[in-house]
Copies of this chain bind each other. A is one copy, B any other.
Amino acid sequence: MRPGTTHPSRPMHRAVRASAAVALLALGVATAQAQTAIPALKAVALDQQALTAPLTIAKQGSFFVGGRDLQSDTLSTLPAYAKTGTITVDQMYTRYQIPASAKDVSLVLIHGCCLTGKTWESTPDGRMGWDEYFVRRGYPTYVIDQSGRGRSAVNATAMNATKLGQATAEQLPVVFAASHESAWVIFRFGPQYPKLFEGQQFPVASQKALWQQMVPDWLNAMPTPNPTVPALSQLSKQLKKTVLMSHSQSGIYPFQTASLDTTGIAGIVSIEPGACPAATGNLTPYTKMPVMVLFGDYVELAPRWAPRLVACREFVKKVNEAGGRAELLVLPEIGIRGNTHMLMQDLNSIQIADLLGSWIEQRVLTAK
């Protein structure tokens, strides 16, 4: 049996958004605040007009960052296509929209495991994605497909090497597909498929449109460091002042990018990172820009996520002790309940976007 129709609606949150454009929120960063005296965040919502009026785009387009040329003798097993030749791999697809009257800080949206840049586009139930929301809020917004995912080519030559008898089956690339059942738990829709956490906010009636988004993940077949990280570094330099916003498996990428070079990185938002950097490592790069680590609800009920939150809390504390401006926000601690791991697609996704847009405005735009 599929769940789907049992989800309780949450009109209260919507009403709050509609009536109160500005709300004071007590952030769950008491320790951090004690260290660095970060002022309270005011959540400023986009009004209905800004959310629904026709959208004026000054410029849009797409391009690739990075990539390397590779010679191979196992490009094809078909007579119509040559076995031998040059291909380009490891590049990172990037699509962008720049609104009229743009702010001078841009935003890069970086999806997580088993997904593509589609993560940030229209939600499964057809509401506006964050790719458009942040354009409406004034940010030039860049959505990437990680190297080896979506429109960023995988390197399939190792598979053909096995098919052509030049490598063993064991040498095939490590590629996995997350099942609906395992994603259900990892994304914290409920404790196990198909049970739901009470009050959870993912639009489960439209779950099919999430499953359609999922792609096999070649992450473990990629070079180290993942080429997405140097590509993000190159993109940050090109954009000059940008906020890197990551999710889940890519949660650590903005930090790894900052470790390479902080140039161009105006801020980091890491949403439910699979890992924060080690609190015992060199934290200096992360003291150079405002940092927000954000978690949703039910974390303590999820064995996969609970220890990650603990480790991220320690990381944020140590960054602030080292002179940084890092914050960690757990949504239920400020009264926002029911958010799953896929909070950019949850029913209150615009409320969360309002919060993060406000964070950028109050931490990054004012930091110049």
Contacts and interface: CB of A to CB of B under 8 A. Distances in A.
A323 interface: no
Interface stretch (A16-24, A83-91, A283-291): A83-91
Contact of A61 (B60, B93, B129, B208): B129
Contact of A63 (B56, B60, B122, B169): B122
A84 B180 CA distance: 10
A62 B122 contact: yes
Contacts of A118: 62, 93, 151
Contacts of A72: 177
Interface residues of A, number: 71
Given A182-B81, A182-B85, A213 B60 contact: no
A310 interface: no
B153 A87 contact: no
Interface in A93-138: 93, 95, 100, 116-118, 121-122, 126, 128-129, 132
B159 A64 contact: no
A184 to B, nearest CB: 10
Contact of A156 (B121, B128, B132, B216): B216
A14 to B, nearest CB: 20
Contacts of A214: 87-88, 153
A208 B169 CA distance: 33
Interface string A232-276: 000000000000000000000000000000000000000000000
A55 to B, nearest CB: 5
B82 A117 contact: no
A179 B121 contact: no
B116 A151 contact: yes
A163 interface: yes
Contacts of A76: 176-178
A68 to B, nearest CB: 10
A165 interface: yes
A61 B151 contact: no
Given A150-B151, A211-B87, A215-B151, A159 B157 contact: no
Contacts of A169: 162-163, 165, 169
A172 to B, nearest CB: 4
A100 B180 CA distance: 38
Contact of A159 (B54, B63, B175, B213): B175
Interface of A: 54-58, 60-64, 67, 69, 72, 75-78, 81-82, 84-88, 91, 93, 95, 100, 116-118, 121-122, 126, 128-129, 132, 145, 150-151, 153-154, 156-157, 159-160, 162-163, 165, 169-170, 172-182, 208-209, 211-216, 220
Given A165-B169, A169-B169, 8 more contacts: A54-B58, A62-B122, A63-B209, A67-B212, A81-B176, A151-B213, A160-B176, A162-B172
21 contacts: A54-B57, A55-B57, A61-B128, A61-B132, A62-B122, A63-B122, A67-B211, A72-B177, A75-B177, A81-B178, A84-B179, A85-B182, A86-B179, A87-B178, A88-B212, A145-B151, A151-B215, A153-B215, A156-B216, A160-B176, A165-B169
